[in-house]
Amino acid sequence: GIQVEQSPPDLILQEGANSTLRCNFSDSVNNLQWFHQNPWGQLINLFYIPSGTKQNGRLSATTVATERYSLLYISSSQTTDSGVYFCAVKVEGGSEKLVFGKGTKLTVNP
Amino acid sequence: ETGVTQTPRHLVMGMTNKKSLKCEQHLGHNAMYWYKQSAKKPLELMFVYSLEERVENNSVPSRFSPECPNSSHLFLHLHTLQPEDSALYLCASSQDLAGGWDEETQYFGPGTRLLVL
């Protein structure tokens, strides 16, 4: 099956810093989503981005489908950005299964 | 609030108990999902329902039994579980299974933290 690898596994930042999270995948995809899971377990969808670039406030994401990776940018980080960021993909021509990476755990210190 | 609710939020059960997890979505979506999140492991898809029909069963043991009586409700019936089944169980919904951003974006409930003793 498809492999989804996220890096780095852990990231610690000071408030105000910028960061880039990466998601590599091993097969062609027609669906890629980024999620944030807060410390209480709630998952929130950030982006649906199988290709191209999107921005939402301090967050933006870019997916280069031909090179099989996606990047999530967080600018001017805040303590509320802490949590785990997951990338999830669906294989083109495959099942309806969304395959998740192991996530990047982000800690933003005040 | 994502429009997806789950009850109970926490559950402790013995290996011989029978319990059910409930998920309800208030978004008018057609697809619903059960996921399992264990410590140190990626989220695992368990079941997918579309218009109340199961479309994906990801090799889940029979001690987990899903039920989708209508497009707004999804249950996960549990019986004779094992301690390794302790995990966070997440429900999600999407407008449809395919079609792009609006249709495929998944909305998650807060989860049920299950501990099997």
DSSP string, chain B: --SEEEE-SEEEE-TT-EEEEEEEE-S--SEEEEEEE-TTS--EEEEEEETTEEEEE-S--TTEEEEEEETTEEEEEEES--GGG-EEEEEEEES-SSSSHHHH--EE---EEEEE-
| Least Cα separation, residue A40 to chain B (angstroms) | 8
Closest approach of A18 to chain B, Cα-based (Å): 25
**What residues in B contact A90, CB-CB < 8 Å?**
104
Please name which of B2, B25, B38 lies closest in space to residue A45, comparing C-alpha atoms.
B2
**Is there a contact between B109 and B6 (Cβ–Cβ < 8 Å)?**
yes
Q: Give the per-residue pLDDT at B104.
A: 82
Helix (H, G, I), strand (E, B) or coil at A66: helix
pLDDT tens, position by position, for chain B (117 residues)?
A: 789 999 999 999 988 889 999 999 999 999 999 999 998 788 999 999 998 888 877 789 999 999 999 999 999 999 999 999 999 999 999 998 877 777 888 999 999 999 999
Q: Do A45 and B106 touch (CB under 8 A)?
A: yes
What residues form DSSP beta bridges with B31?
Answer: B50, B94
CB A36 within 8 A of CB A99: no
The first and second tokens of residue B7, run together, are: 């009850």
How many degrees, rounded to 5, is the angle at CA A26 between CA A53 and CA A106? 60
Q: How far does the CA of residue A110 sit from the closest CA of chain B (Å)?
A: 26
Low-confidence ranges of chain A (pLDDT < 70): none
d(CA B33, CA B44): 11
**Cβ contact (<8 Å) for A96 and B43?**
no
The string of DSSP letters for A11-42 reads: EEEETT--EEEEEEESS-EEEEEEEEE-TTS-
For residue A42, give both structure tokens.
């709630």
Tell which phi-psi region holds residue B16, choosing left (phi > 0), alpha (psi between -120 and 50) or beta. alpha
Please report the number of interchain residue pairs, chain A to chain B, with beta-carbon separation below 8 angstroms: 57
The pLDDT, as a whole number, for residue B33 is: 94
Cα→Cα distances B52→B13, B102, B111, Å = 28, 20, 21
- Residue among B35, B40, B57, B106 with most chain A CBs within 10 A, to mutate: B106
* Token couple for B8: 């109970």
Identify the closest residue of chain B to A97 by CA–CA distance: B45
Q: Residue A33 has what pLDDT?
A: 94
Selecting from B55, B88, B92 the residue whose C-beta is nearest the C-beta of A41 gives: B88
Choose from A2, A53, A90, A98 for mutation: most chain B CBs within 10 A.
Answer: A98
Question: Minimal Cα–Cα distance from B40 to chain A, Å?
Answer: 8
Q: Residue A100: its chain B contacts at CB < 8 A?
A: 42-44
Supply B49's token pair. Answer: 């329902």
pLDDT score recorded for residue A100: 94
